[in-house]
Each structure stands twice: as C-alpha cells, then as structure tokens.
Chain A
Amino acid sequence: MDTLEGIGVSRRSLLAGAAFAGVLGSVIATAPSHAQETAPATGPAPDLSTLPRQKVELVAPPFVHAHDQIAKGGPKVVEFTLIIEEKQLVIDDYGTTVHAMTYNGSVPGPLMVVHQDDYVELTLVNPDTNMLQHNIDFHASTGALGGGGLTLINPGEQVKLRFRATRTGTFVYHCAPGGPMIPWHVVSGMNGAIMVLPRDGLKDGNGKPLSYDHVYYVGEQDFYVPRDEDGNFKSYDSAGDGYDDMVKVMRGLIPTHVVFNGAVGALTGENALTAKVGETVLIVHSQANRDTRPHLIGGHGDHVWQSGKFANAPDVDLETWFVAGGSAAAALYTFLQPGIYAYVNHNLIEAVELGATAHFKVEGEWVDDLMTQVQAPSPIG
C-alpha cells in the first residue's frame, strides 16, 4: 500500500473509499506470467525530447480525428486532452435521463488514433464543476492498472500520463476509480477507445495492405436506469442520489437500455452513418462492460479483427462478430449495394427493444447481379 501513498491517491474521497486499494492489491498479486512471441520493444525509454510531438484535437464519435493510415516517419509523442464532464444526458425518445460521466462530453469518449511505438501523452482534466473523482485505465497501456493508478484526480485537478503504444489494435479505455465506483462509472458512460495502427498500416492475413475511406466509431453502452413503483424510469437530482437504486438494477445484470453512442437513435435518421457504393468503411465497435455481437444487415464483415488486435490475421466474410465485454473490435467492409443498412447488436431484442441500432445510408448504383426481385409481390397463383 506504500505504492498507493507514493502515487498520491487521494483517500479523502467518500466515493472512492478503500475499495480501490483492495483492487490494486489483488491485481498486483495475480499479475500473470505472460508469454509473447514477438515481445514489444522494452528497455530504457529513448530521449523523448528528440521525438516529434503532435497535438491532436479529438472529435466526438462516431467521427474520428484525421490521421495517417500508414505512419509517416518514426515514432512521435502524440498529445491528447480529455476533459471529464459529468452531465445529464437524455438516452431515449421518452426523455429518460441519466447522470452521465463522460470524457469530453460524449458517450463514448472520443476515439484516439496513434501508431505502434508512438507515445500517447494524455492530459486528463477534472474541472471543479464536477462532483466525483475520476481516472483513466487504458487497455492499450502497460502498468499501474492501465494508468488508472497514476491518474486518479479530484474535481479541480488535472494529471498528465504518458504511455508507449506497444501493441497494435483497438483497445477500450475507461474510468476505474476503485471498487464499486468502477462499474458505476463505466455504465454511466465513462469509456471510449484508442486505435493503435501498425506503422505500415492494416493488412489481411496474407500481408496484403488494407485501407479504408471512412472510419466510424460505435461505442455500445448498457444503461441501468431505476424505475418507480409504476414502472416509469426515475430521474435524480444528482449522480450520487441515484447511486443506490442504480446499483440494485446493475446487480440484476439486465440493462434497461443498450444503445450506440449514448442514446437510442444517436446513429439513425438524420444522424445515420453514410457511405457510397465502392467505399470501404472501418467500423470500430467498443463495449467496455458487456459482450456484444455486431451485424450489418444486408452486408458483411470483409475483414474483421474480432478481438481488435491487428497482429492477428483478420477473419474474413463474417456475418456477425463477437466483441467481448471490455474490448473493441474493428471490421472492414466495402459497400457493394445502395440502400439503408441497419448495423445492430444481433441480439435483436437489444437492437430493437433496447436501442442498439445504427443505420448506414449508402448511395450508388444498384447491382442486379447481386440481387434482383424476380417477381414483385403479387397474388398467389
């Protein structure tokens, strides 16, 4: 526990409590012996003062900041800033609200993109308008609970963390402020993803380069909103007021909402994703808490990294892919036919009843060879 004191974890917070120490202790005690065929470069850090620095302005999902698919030059220090914002969000058409905890105001937080061996330098800000203590755990990073142990900050504080992006792939990041606060923050929206691209870009299983015209970031979020005696969703004056009720719903493990990008309909209608026939889209799909199974209705996954890790050969020609809770998958698809595509969690109850549906609007020329209505609906006979 000296470690905890040493890294300056605040013990004052009522909400974080001693549970954090317990988690840290158990993780350290069970640190796995980890075999890796191609060990990432280790050893003394290079002189970072000689590396170029790049400051990136993050953009709100489903969009992703501009980036090179193939790295130009050597490793860089890539600077990001995430400002934590506790805010009330409307999560469905009925005006149901949650006290969301967000990185940069969106659920999920923005997708960051770097290349392997770049250094991610994150400034995490917890403005004093917030009520709670927060931090960030990058699944892409190595050590200190993914950075969680070095980034716990109170309202009014900021912290800067740097880690080397040693492994390629799409990885979840999330808040993990200790004990029961961890799932509460994560299912209040406090998660996002980072994509670490291979320096020479994506490749299929045979070493053939792959690229995309658009990348969209879909963050799937399970919400657990308490109901009153009449079955109506409750709202609370503050996140803390709703905490006890919400934990009861969480412990049932059945979400009241499963949504993409923070709300039912956030990626449909006027917010539908767009593409043209012939364009290749990379869909990064994260779920920080719970398993899911994306499916593009009317299309496929041409190349899918189900686990999200680009050092593995992608699966090809998938109908549905699996995203383990606490991970992010990446799926490439070239649209071949115009129309409306529904991109869903193919537990269709979750897609239709709970909200996990996005739409793609795809324009272009219809290809009869791929599909034709040979006979229009007509009377039998």
Chain B
Amino acid sequence: MTVLAGPRPVSAVSLLLPAALLLLLLGFMAAESGALRPGEPVASVPAPPTVTIAPRAYSYRAAGEFLRDGVAGDGPLIGVVAPPPLEIMTYQVTAADYWRCVVAGACEAAEPRRKGEGDVPVTGVSFEDAEDYAHWLSAATGTTWRLPTIGEWTFAAGSKAIDPVIGVGSGGDPAARWLAEYERESALGARAFAPPEPVGRFGVNEFGVADLAGPVWEWTASCNGRTALDAGGRQLSHIESCGVRFVEGRHRAAMSTFVRDARGGGCSVGALPDNLGFRLVREPSWFQRLFGA
C-alpha cells in the first residue's frame, strides 16, 4: 500500500549544505531577473489558500480489494498514531486556477460535462490532468504540490470522510457482498448528477477544509490493488494496479486514470461520482521539516 508510506525521515545535516547553496543561487537568479519584489510571489501564480492539519491519531480504511483467507471482504482499518502535520488546499482547485496551467501549455483543457456558474472547482479532469497541474504549480510556486494519498485525504477530511466499509464478506456466497455493496451504493448514488457549485458553497469541516461532501469528487494518489491476507491478517501477496486510482468524496470509487467524466464511463453497477476534480497537498519545505511548521 502506497498509502502506508509517510514522508521519508530527513537528516538535517545532509540538507543544510545543498539547501544553503540552492538558496544563494535562487536569490541571485531572482535578483538578476527582477522577479523577487517585496509582497509578490516568486512567479505570478498566487499561492492557493491552505489549511494545516495538526497531528492527531486517526484511522482509515485501506484502499483496494482484499482477500482474507481467500474470502473477499473489506480492507483493514489502518490506525495512524502520529502523522506529520499536513498542509492541504482549503478549496478544490478552481476552473480559473486550472485555466492558468492550460494557458501556460502545461495542462490539457478540462472537459466538464456541465461547467457550473461562478468560481467553481475544475471538473472533467483525469488523474493525469491533476498530476500535470501539480507539476506546473510546483514549478510556478517553487514548492512541491502533489495529490494526497487516501490516508492523507481521510486525515484532512476528518468527520466528512465516509468509511467505505460494506461489512459483508463473501464466505461461500459471492453474491452476498455484491448485493450489500449494491444496496449501499444505490443509496449513495440516488441523487441525480449535480453540476459543480462555487467554491465554499458546501462549508468547511472541523479543520477548515472546504467542500468535502459536495458534487465534486477528488483524485487521490492511491493506487488500486489486490491484497491477500491470511486468516490472521498477515499479508500474503499484494499486487498494485496504478492504472486505476481512487477518488474520494461522498463515497470512495476506483477510477481509471485517464477518465475525465466518471458518469460517462459507466463501468460498473455501483454509484458513480458526479464530477471529478482535485485538491493538492503541499510538501513541507526543508526548513519546515527541520523546525516544524
């Protein structure tokens, strides 16, 4: 599970020298180009508003297909005792934000089925589009932005995260879990397709993260995969399948990375996300890692 991987431990000393050199070099370049003026970001891309989630113990449902002792069932609940702080965008990336990346030639145009009115989140974007945007934003702002893992998304979503537990194993009857899953997703998907609404319309959670249960689902970095466990829960095998990633929102769904319109895909009998969008997390800078946020 990629979701299990936290930030790599960083040796302070190993970073100091290259970081100092880099800072000198950047300062020199910025001064030369005249780009570094007081009160303005390095590039002309405004830093998006973010929320930093303070460390706390939390748990999340492992993503992917799980077999326990040969029987399909829910993934284990993974407890995280001491996560690092997580800086995440307050709002989903907006259509206007995304358009800057398109204009810069670094992103392909989004293909929203319905655009919505006002300052709406970008929709009609694939996992690949979200990755392109993250790379562009990272270059434009000089810090590293990336998609959150399922674990990180759950950590930031707090009370808005919905545990995709089904609770019925398939012991001897492949149909039982299937029927239970269908009932659950039918209830979740009963609402008709909703177009995106202006950012902030769906309020914030207890940490100040906005629009977590609205009509825009969010791409995560977490790959689909199948994990076989023995009766005691020990991992026997794990095969990762990164052509399919998970999206989070009112329910968790697996989605091929090239899909921009989940509802047009019609891949399964389950509930489909209304719209596909995303928000990014910011990797802590070297000095944040050294000295705390």
List A349-381 residues whose CB lies under 8 Å from chain B: 352-353, 357, 359, 361-363, 365-366, 368, 373, 376-379
Q: How far is the CB of A379 from chain B (nearest CB, A)?
A: 5
List A50-93 residues whose CB lies under 8 Å from chain B: 90, 92-93
Residues of A within 8 A of B114 (CB): 94
Q: Does A256 contact B (CB under 8 A)?
A: no
Residues A268 and B179 in contact, CB atoms below 8 Å apart: no
Binds B, one of A40-48, A162-170, A300-308, A336-344: A336-344
Whether A269 contacts B266 in the complex (CB less than 8 A), given A95-B193, A361-B179, comes out as no
Binds A, one of B30-38, B168-176, B251-259: B168-176
From B182, B228, B269, B271, A378 is in contact (CB under 8 Å) with: B228
Total A residues in contact with B, Cβ cutoff 8 Å = 29
Chain B residue, CB-CB nearest to A90: B192
Q: Is the interface of B mostly helix, strand, loop or mixed?
A: mixed
Q: Does B61 contact A (CB under 8 A)?
A: no
Residues B179 and A269 in contact, CB atoms below 8 Å apart: no
From B178, B237, B239, A340 is in contact (CB under 8 Å) with: B178
Residues of B within 8 A of A24 (CB): none
From B172, B179, B239, A363 is in contact (CB under 8 Å) with: B179
B137-176 interface bits toward A, Cβ cutoff 8 Å, 1 = contact, 0 = none: 0000000000000000000000000000000000011111
Q: Does A272 contact B (CB under 8 A)?
A: yes
Residues B173 and A365 in contact, CB atoms below 8 Å apart: yes
Q: Is the interface of A mostly helix, strand, loop or mixed?
A: loop
In the complex, A364→B9 CA distance in Å? 53
Whether A339 contacts B271 in the complex (CB less than 8 A), given A95-B193, A269-B189, A365-B173, comes out as no
Residues of A within 8 A of B65 (CB): 377
From B72, B174, B183, B192, A95 is in contact (CB under 8 Å) with: B192
Q: Does B79 contact A (CB under 8 A)?
A: no
Residues B182 and A361 in contact, CB atoms below 8 Å apart: yes
Q: Does A237 contact B (CB under 8 A)?
A: no
Whether A342 contacts B269 in the complex (CB less than 8 A), given A93-B263, A269-B186, A379-B239, comes out as yes
Whether A366 contacts B187 in the complex (CB less than 8 A), given A93-B192, A340-B269, comes out as no
Total B residues in contact with A, Cβ cutoff 8 Å = 31
Q: Does B67 contact A (CB under 8 A)?
A: yes
Residues B179 and A338 in contact, CB atoms below 8 Å apart: yes
Chain A residue, CB-CB nearest to B67: A376
Residues B178 and A339 in contact, CB atoms below 8 Å apart: yes
Q: Does A37 contact B (CB under 8 A)?
A: no
Residues of B within 8 A of A95 (CB): 192-193
Residues of B within 8 A of A378 (CB): 67, 228, 237
Residues A339 and B192 in contact, CB atoms below 8 Å apart: no
Whether A340 contacts B174 in the complex (CB less than 8 A), given A268-B269, A379-B237, comes out as no
Q: How far is the CB of A360 from chain B (nearest CB, A)?
A: 11
Residues of B within 8 A of A228 (CB): none
Q: Does B21 contact A (CB under 8 A)?
A: no
Residues of A within 8 A of B263 (CB): 93-94
Q: Does A270 contact B (CB under 8 A)?
A: yes
Chain A residue, CB-CB nearest to B266: A352
In the complex, A342→B182 CA distance in Å? 12
Q: Does B113 contact A (CB under 8 A)?
A: yes
Residues of B within 8 A of A373 (CB): 174
In the complex, A268→B183 CA distance in Å? 11
Q: Does B39 contact A (CB under 8 A)?
A: no
A247-279 interface bits toward B, Cβ cutoff 8 Å, 1 = contact, 0 = none: 000000000000000000000111010000000
Q: How far is the CB of B239 from chain A (nearest CB, A)?
A: 6
Q: How far is the CB of A76 from chain B (nearest CB, A)?
A: 40
Chain B residue, CB-CB nearest to A375: B70
Residues of A within 8 A of B178 (CB): 339-340
In the complex, A36→B122 CA distance in Å? 65
In the complex, A378→B172 CA distance in Å? 18
Residues of A within 8 A of B182 (CB): 272, 340, 359, 361
Q: Does B135 contact A (CB under 8 A)?
A: no
Residues B70 and A338 in contact, CB atoms below 8 Å apart: no
In the complex, A377→B224 CA distance in Å? 14
In the complex, A359→B182 CA distance in Å? 10
Chain A residue, CB-CB nearest to B185: A269
In the complex, A270→B186 CA distance in Å? 6
Q: How far is the CB of B73 from chain A (nearest CB, A)?
A: 11
Residues of B within 8 A of A94 (CB): 113-114, 193, 263
Residues A340 and B179 in contact, CB atoms below 8 Å apart: yes
Residues A376 and B192 in contact, CB atoms below 8 Å apart: no
Residues of B within 8 A of A352 (CB): 266
Whether A366 contacts B190 in the complex (CB less than 8 A), given A93-B263, A376-B67, A379-B237, comes out as no
| Residues of B that sit less than 8 Å from A by CB | 65, 67, 70, 72, 113-114, 172-176, 178-179, 182-183, 185-187, 189-190, 192-193, 226, 228, 237, 239, 263-264, 266, 269, 271
- Can you list 24 pairs linking A and B with CB atoms under 8 Å apart? A93-B193, A94-B113, A94-B263, A95-B192, A268-B186, A268-B269, A269-B185, A269-B189, A270-B187, A270-B190, A338-B173, A338-B175, A339-B178, A339-B179, A352-B266, A353-B264, A362-B175, A366-B173, A366-B174, A368-B172, A373-B174, A376-B67, A376-B228, A377-B226
Known: A353-B266, A377-B65. 4 other contacts (CB 8 A): A93-B263, A361-B179, A376-B70, A378-B237
| Residues of A that sit less than 8 Å from B by CB | 90, 92-95, 268-270, 272, 337-340, 342, 352-353, 357, 359, 361-363, 365-366, 368, 373, 376-379
5 cross-chain pairs, A with B, having the tightest CB-CB distances, nearest first: A93-B193, A339-B175, A338-B175, A269-B186, A366-B173
